[in-house]
Homo-oligomer: A and B are copies of this chain.
Amino acid sequence: MVNIAVLGYGTVGSGVVEVLNVNGDSINKRCGHEIQVKYVLDLRDFPGDPIQDKIVHNYETIVNDPEVGIIVEVMGGVEPAYTFVKEAILKGKSVCTSNKELVAKHGAELLKLSKQMNVNFLFEASVGGGIPIIRPLNQSLTADEIEEITGILNGTTNYILTKMSNEGSDFNSVLKEAQAMGYAERNPQADIEGYDACRKIAILSSLAFGMQVDFEDIYTEGITKITEADIKYAKAMGASIKLLGSSKKEQDHVYAMVAPMLIKPSHPLFSVNDVFNGIFVRGNVIGDVMFYGSGAGKLPTASAVVADVVDAAKHIGTNIMTLWSSKKLELSDIKRATHRFFVRVAANDEKTKEQIAMEFGQVDVIAVPDMKEEYAFITMPMSEETYQQKAEKFKNIVSMIRVNF
């Protein structure tokens, strides 16, 4: 028997308990041990809830109980999660977490500590909710050098962009609707400004390249500036606007960014809609692979956490090797990253067109029937820096979206 403790009885924590109840028999069979929830840590009491007798308010009870082999940390936020997790590992307990803030910030250190203590620190649920991506990156894509990892990593923003595209609605009204339906939080900043996706691509990049990628170093842009008009243009191009977290290795440089991008149907992420997430990986021998599923939600996330618990239980006494050194990977300056840019200018006179031709050279003009007051075009590939220098000369650029084709 393996005793576990769940830190935090919120959405994911109660989901973990539910999954263990619903699928307990098959989970125990797959695990080779019976998994039992011994404690649930929460500030609140839950009178009437089947776990009410397991609730403790004091972490010391849990961490000092030698019977507890695995800690499930699903509280979120860096503190006190970091202090709790570190203490657990130092006491010889394995930890399974869904906490992206914790993993992005302290993943390398906690993995190193786990190795020293011969326990495991697992975090499948920290990226892509239920989608298996951390374990495949660690254990299935081991024959490859990863050249690119690009994901739709945030369900809320994907839902908003999908809705805007399907219904022609504007950003603010779709956001309100998403909040009403529980798909967006009341304080949606972390989602819509790209901060959530940024932590996730930092984790994936660290694993893909085996070194610490600091999320603070990643250029991050959200979706708040995307308008109905942008989406009209995207449709006219047969393209779609997605918030992508992406890191690419070019020669010895790694670029990482989070930004809305235009993609075409030939891209495997094109059909990842609504609250679904998708993670695209390009390896130098495997080619292109993609992982798709529910990026959030109580049960999908809990499924990933419990799968980690099963793995931790199967590996008691053995550290599962994970390559993520605390050595910092210096990302290349995003100014040098090269792509095409979709640009809308609030003028359609010959003089503006001439100026654009002079500044940007050859461009692909994108015409949308009812946007006659504007001039919209896609540039040839150029660096971010070159684009900025050219764009500065125009006062009337309405929007710019990077192009992934």
Residues of A within 8 A of B (CB): 19, 22-23, 26-27, 29-32, 124, 130-132, 135-136, 139-145, 210, 265, 268, 270-271, 283-294, 297, 299-300, 302-307, 309-311, 314, 318, 321, 323
Contacts and interface: CB of A to CB of B under 8 A. Distances in A.
B287 A293 contact: yes
> Which one of A19, A29, A303, A306 has the greatest number of beta carbons of chain B within 10 Å?
A303
A344 to B, nearest CB: 28
A268 B144 CA distance: 26
Contacts of A299: 285-287
A398 to B, nearest CB: 31
- List the 9 closest pairs (A to B, CB-CB), nearest first: A132-B140, A143-B306, A289-B293, A286-B303, A290-B292, A130-B286, A142-B310, A132-B136, A285-B299
Nearest to A294: B287
A237 to B, nearest CB: 18
A142 B307 contact: yes
A64 to B, nearest CB: 28
> Which one of A22, A30, A143, A309 has the greatest number of beta carbons of chain B within 10 Å?
A143
Contacts of A302: 143, 285
Please give the count of copies of this chain that the complex contains: 2
Given A23-B143, A142-B31, A303-B286, A292 B268 contact: yes
Contacts of A297: 287
A141 to B, nearest CB: 7
Nearest to A272: B268
A268 B210 CA distance: 31
Contacts of A323: 29-30
Contacts of A304: 140, 143, 286
Contacts of A291: 289-292
A143 B292 contact: no
Contacts of A300: 285-287
Nearest to A322: B30
A285 B22 CA distance: 9
Given A293-B287, A299-B285, A140 B144 contact: no
B303 A143 contact: yes
Contacts of A26: 145
A272 B320 CA distance: 33
Given A287-B294, A292-B268, A293-B289, A23 B130 contact: no
B268 A307 contact: no
A141 B145 contact: no
A277 B26 CA distance: 29
Contact of A23 (B31, B285, B310, B321): B285
A397 to B, nearest CB: 33
A284 B302 CA distance: 12
B292 A289 contact: yes
Given A19-B143, A132-B141, A283-B303, 19 more contacts: A23-B143, A26-B145, A29-B323, A130-B286, A132-B132, A132-B136, A135-B139, A136-B136, A140-B307, A142-B311, A143-B305, A143-B306, A143-B310, A270-B271, A285-B299, A285-B302, A287-B300, A289-B291, A290-B292
Contacts of A136: 132, 135-136, 140
B271 A132 contact: no
Nearest to A306: B143
Given A124-B140, A140-B135, A142-B31, A293 B285 contact: no
